[in-house]
A and B are shown apart, each in its own frame.
Chain A
Amino acid sequence: MGERRDAWRHVSAQRRPAGRVRLLLLVVAITLVLPSAGLAQARVGAWVDAVIAVQEPTDAAAISRLEANDFQAWFSATSNPDLRDRVARNPALTSVASFGLQSELTFNPVGPVFPGTNRLNPFASPKIREAMNWLIDRRFIAQEIMRGMATPRYLPIDNAFPDFARLADVARKLEIQYAPNPDRAKAIISEEMGGLGATLVGGKWQFRGQPVTLTFLIRTEDERKQIGEYIAGLLESLGFTVERRLGSSAELSPLWSRGDPARGQWHLYTGGWLITAIVRDEAGNFDFFFTPRGLSGPLWQAYKPSPEFNRVSDRLARSDYSTLAERNRLFSQALELAMRDSARIWLVDRTSIWPRRAEVKVVADLAGGISGSLLWPYTIRYEGRTGGTVRIGVPNMLPEPWNPIGGSNFIFDTTLYRATQDYPTIVDPYTGLDLPQRVERAEVFVKQGLPVTKTLDWVSLQFVAEVRVPDDAIISWDPKAQRFITVKEKHPQGLTARAKAVVHFERDLFQKVQWHDGSRLSLGDVMLGWILTFDRAMEGSAIFDESAVPSFESFQQTFRGFRILSENPLVAELYSDAFTLDAEAIGAGAAGAFWPTYGFGPGPWHTVALGIRAEAAGEVAFTEDKAAKKKVERLNYIAGPTLAVLDRHLAAARAENFIPYASALSRYITPEEARTRWTFLTHWREGRGHFWVGMGPFLLQRVSPVEKVAELHRFSRFPDPSTKWVRFDEPMLAAVAASGPSTVRIGEEAAFEVRITFKGRPYPPREIDEVKFLLFDAKSALIASGQARQAGETWRVVLAPQATLRLVTGSNRLEVIVVSRLVSVPSFATVSFTTLPR
């Protein structure tokens, strides 16, 4: 190393005169270029100087305040069609859409006669449940009831997520197969009801001399009330007597969620599920929604899927497949079987809009909208200028204390404190794939036979015969002796894992990343996170928290060890039995394990240490459960009575130059670092009035809890340029148009042209993953399917003579499905043509 340095000095000495000239030229060039280049390029971190969050509980008032420019963005969604129209009419406003809330219809599967009663439950019959798919017109719900603020949904996977795009052809086929057909529904239901022993008397179904009365639990908080009324009307038109029980979640959940379905207190329920982030693997949905393995509740235990469906669901849930093709086959099977089972049927995916002033730009997540987007703090700005203050409205804020270990998980609080934290990787808001932020690269090794794929270049993927965990890897913690336990100590016989990820963080990570109080990121921050992973869930610990045990047990089931390979630059590896379909997610998961952000916010070791001291002293608790159990206050780092407790511990920690878990962490935290941190934190507390120290593009400047105002100021020492994430400003949803001959002669080849565009310009072909087609005949039977071929800027679908030969004379339909690499939502186009005889 010394020789190399000398050699470098030698070379640089020889080059000095030329170097001086170059330096001079560079200075002149910079002087000339800087004014014209604009300061935007030099700006780091957030685009705006400040974001001020204010509370506005009602969405109608929020729109009025946006119109009056009282605030510039509404960080909540509305599904109100009137408000959507109002936003659309006003040129000063704009909005972005997200898909997250799903409406479904849950059936009580017990029966056909409720035990100990004479009451018939028609929905015990899978055929009647399946027929409900034909009875209900989902398009009517989406267009008429929800006035366009929803899209019809048939399947137990989300229309906007990657699995749907991956299986779009199967999904489309099923959607067409289960399109509304009330006559068919009526015929099936009548036949089945007869089979169950019911009779139709004067247009009303009767069973054992009594009318067949269906108790319908209808939620009233949102459009599910109208949806329930609509479905109740349909059932009444078939001859059922429907008893509507309207109520809120609190009123109805004792009946459907906790009550025993065998008691017959209900037959149907208007259910709903909320997703706040793109889920890239929905294979577990079948097991969760249709089998007793899903949940332990009495309703789930009443599910009786067919043996075939049960087996397929189980295999998908356990990832019991070795290739993606095999997974797709199982998935296709499961989708068909789920429709036949129909223990619950999906109705619509609600569309929500997130309104804002037209001059404000911000990246929103396809599922979570703005408040669910990790990128909002990095991208929020005024179009065409930097700086300024953006006021944002949120429906509710600060209902719970903030602390990184067990603080508020309230969605709008999360949105705010996300602005104060940074990430090793960031989720692509439109595909759900992980992208590097503080990581240079990751090497992922998985056992051969696991269906893992990679899409992006920052991750390398290798399949290996065995992943052996090294003896010196850390696998546990001794809470009494306060030291890490290695694999060799715990598993002297050796240990293997299914996956290993080696994460290479940025080379200058510890030089460029700073906490908001001025402290530099250090390995102490990383290692304290690991200690807390174990310590809080271990009974011998001074900060043992019973509520941490369940998640720790889950973690332990798959965790196989970690190792720091290099301290600076930081290179670390993680061994696990857990894996995901995407190598990017495996790499991101490993990177996250070495990043000092906890479940509820950023956590530099020194602020977390204060909480640890206070909890160990029995004065406060990090989590709600422990606080309730110990009858103490829950730690709040931003306001309230626990600030005084933290103040006391800060003074003591500063006096002692305290290093938490000194026996383990003294190796990573020097006394000088500790001294600097306590000094910086004291100044921070005096200046800002709170203990919330993060490292994100914004710092928490001031909180006014009663007035419900939070002020976030730009962190001027954030390492990245402001421009880093603006490429995600808008989802590139493809617009598809298909055209071709209006008549096709049976047995002859036919070609159709597919144009894929975004905002009128051709969609980049390299960003298109697949262009599939499905050919349906006049009876909506699937005749052929395949892939379109690229032909310059357009794509061509060619129907071979063998395919057209299978058509009969009449009207046919060609469905084109486009799957993009940039957005997980597939796009569709339909073209109709008539077949003529040969």
Chain B
Amino acid sequence: MSDTLQMVSRRHRLPDTLVRVVSYSATRLVALFFTAVVGIFVTILVANMGGYVDEIKRAEIRETVTLQVFTDPKIMRLPAEARERRMREMIRIGEERLGLDRPFLSRSLFYLRDALVLRLGFAERMNSDSGSRLVRNIILERLPPTLLLFVSADLLLFFASMFMALSLARQYGSVLDRIVIALAPTSAAPAWFFGIFLILIFAAVLRWLPFGGMVDVPPPDRSVAYAASVLKHMVLPVGAIVFSTIFLAVYSWRTFFLIFSSEDYVEVARAKGLPTRVIERRYILRPTLPTIITGFALGLIGIWTGAVVLETVFNWPGLGQALFRAVGLYDIPVILGATIIYAYLLAITVFILDILYALVDPRVKLSREGRP
């Protein structure tokens, strides 16, 4: 009788859980989608300065045409009316090319529609390195160098700081602990700042490492040599990123672990005489895992846009430089392309994190209303 009751109860619970999970997921997805829509539309409005960018573009076209006319003796020698006619025509063609012959509002809605269906289309002014006008190619060509540099740096930073933080948490108050605490404020300076010094020391003075770029000049033909050359060029930028962040990261994680290691259940575990490694793994790392995963995941997707100044300092052909150029040129499709991908990545990450929380942290449960 009791077995039958239990089975009925389980059967009843399974669809109930499924419904709750599906309903929660759907609600979250819809909410995230609307957040993305709002974010993208706000980006469109901001990137266009509410339509004022049209004015800027029109003025730029006029200025460019003016300079073209001034520096072209053939045009300068034309009679005034012919010169004016030619200039008007050049301006018209330029405006049409940038879509300025259509009102801003209707263009904004087209931008939004295309962005949402990931139809990234053509850039207005920029080209990819290989000369393509497709926004997709502009982003995809620059993405690998950015990912290579920042994922390497991020992974190195993450694992090194975790390892050091755990180690320092065990040696609380030691000389090494105090040194790390003392060095933590150095992270106030950005990576590019350290980069300049590293270039000065290791490239300009010692001449051990290259000034910048991604590969030797000319690029090696063989792939092994090419990879080695890229690794050599990564040393300084990765070093700058790691150096600029590691002390603060270690300090933060070490403090975080220290707080958790003074929880009652950790004390109980210690009192039970469990080994330190087991305590760290089961009683400190496990409950802090959601925070660690969140930090790691958000750090990874934060890499998406690269780092403009660092890439510029090291002349690294990354996405950051490309996006900076797009902003300078008011190339809305490229700005939007990068933003929409970032928005989708962020939404997907948040969604996956929600599920991961439930998996890794037993304290997280869905309520009957579908709320965690």
Contact = CB atoms under 8 A, between A and B. Distances in A.
Interface of A: 52, 54-58, 61, 64-65, 67-68, 70, 249-251, 253-254, 257-259, 273-276, 279, 281, 284, 287-288, 293-297, 317-319, 391, 398-402, 546-547, 549-551, 553-555, 557, 578, 580, 624-625, 627-629, 631, 633-634, 636, 638-642, 702, 704-709, 711
Interface stretch (B22-30, B67-75, B103-111, B347-355): B67-75
Interface string B40-78: 000000000000100110111011001101110111111
Given A68-B211, A554-B86, A707-B219, A636 B93 contact: no
Nearest to B61: A258
Contact of B317 (A276, A624, A706): A706
Contacts of A56: 211-212, 315
Judged by DSSP, the binding face of B is helix
A586 B122 CA distance: 42
A295 B134 contact: no
B203 interface: yes
A52 B218 contact: yes
Interface string B131-159: 11110010001100100000000000000
B294 interface: no
A68 to B, nearest CB: 6
Contacts of A629: 96-97
B82 interface: yes
B86 A274 contact: no
Nearest to A255: B59
28 contacts: A52-B217, A54-B213, A55-B213, A250-B56, A250-B59, A253-B56, A274-B71, A275-B71, A293-B84, A294-B80, A295-B66, A297-B66, A625-B93, A628-B122, A628-B124, A629-B96, A633-B134, A634-B131, A634-B133, A639-B130, A640-B128, A702-B218, A704-B218, A705-B129, A705-B131, A705-B141, A707-B213, A707-B317
Contacts of B312: 57-58
A253 B59 contact: yes
A61 B212 contact: yes
The 8 closest A-B pairs by CB, nearest first: A640-B130, A636-B131, A401-B131, A293-B80, A253-B59, A705-B129, A639-B130, A258-B59
B101 to A, nearest CB: 11
Interface in B200-215: 203-204, 207, 210-215
A250 B57 CA distance: 8
B204 A296 contact: no
Contacts of B133: 627-628, 633-634
Contacts of B215: 704, 707, 709
Contacts of B94: 625
A122 to B, nearest CB: 25
B211 A70 contact: yes
Given A54-B217, A55-B315, A400-B127, A706 B142 contact: yes
Contacts of A550: 86, 89-90, 93
A580 B74 CA distance: 10
Nearest to A287: B80
A555 B122 CA distance: 32
Interface size class of B (residues with CB under 8 A): 35 or more
B88 interface: yes
Contact of B129 (A259, A288, A708): A708
A254 B74 contact: no
B88 A296 contact: yes
Contacts of A547: 93
A334 to B, nearest CB: 15
Contact of B217 (A399, A624, A709): A709
A554 B69 CA distance: 12
Given A551-B86, A702-B218, 19 more contacts: A67-B204, A68-B203, A68-B211, A254-B58, A273-B67, A284-B76, A296-B84, A297-B66, A546-B93, A550-B93, A554-B75, A580-B73, A629-B96, A640-B130, A642-B132, A706-B130, A706-B317, A708-B129, A711-B218
B211 A64 contact: yes
A148 B2 CA distance: 98
B253 interface: no
Contacts of B89: 549-550
A722 to B, nearest CB: 23
Contacts, number: 187
Contacts of A709: 215, 217-219
B326 to A, nearest CB: 12
B87 interface: yes
B194 interface: no
B330 interface: yes
Given A254-B56, A641-B137, A402 B212 contact: no
A285 B290 CA distance: 70
A398 B80 contact: no
B275 interface: no
Contact of B204 (A68, A249, A546): A68
Given A550-B86, A642-B131, A711-B218, A258 B93 contact: no
Contacts of A711: 218
B335 to A, nearest CB: 14
Contacts of A704: 215, 218-219
Contacts of A401: 127, 131
B56 A631 contact: no
Contact of A399 (B84, B124, B127): B127
Contacts of A55: 213, 315
Interface in B165-216: 199, 203-204, 207, 210-215
Nearest to A624: B97
Contact of A61 (B69, B211, B214): B211
A57 B127 contact: no
Contacts of B330: 250
B362 interface: no
A638 B213 contact: no
Contacts of B82: 553-554, 557
Contact of A553 (B86, B134, B141): B86
Contacts of B62: 253, 257-258, 297
Given A52-B218, A550-B89, A627-B133, A254 B55 contact: yes
Contacts of B75: 554
A67 B60 CA distance: 38
A536 to B, nearest CB: 14
A257 B127 contact: no
A57 B308 CA distance: 13
A562 to B, nearest CB: 17
A400 to B, nearest CB: 5
Nearest to A639: B130
A394 B35 CA distance: 43
B79 interface: yes
A294 B69 CA distance: 10
Given A295-B87, A633-B134, A638-B131, A554 B78 contact: yes
Most buried by B among A287, A401, A629: A401
A288 B83 CA distance: 10
Nearest to A399: B127
Nearest to B66: A295
A279 B199 CA distance: 42
B207 A68 contact: yes
Interface string B209-231: 01111110111000000000000
A254 B59 contact: yes
A578 B73 CA distance: 11
A25 B334 CA distance: 72
A203 B152 CA distance: 64
Contact of B214 (A557, A625, A640, A707): A707
B84 A641 contact: no
A660 to B, nearest CB: 23
Contacts of A58: 312
Given A70-B211, A279-B73, A317-B80, A400 B131 contact: yes
Nearest to B204: A64
A706 B203 contact: no
A402 B211 CA distance: 28
Nearest to A291: B80
A625 B97 CA distance: 6
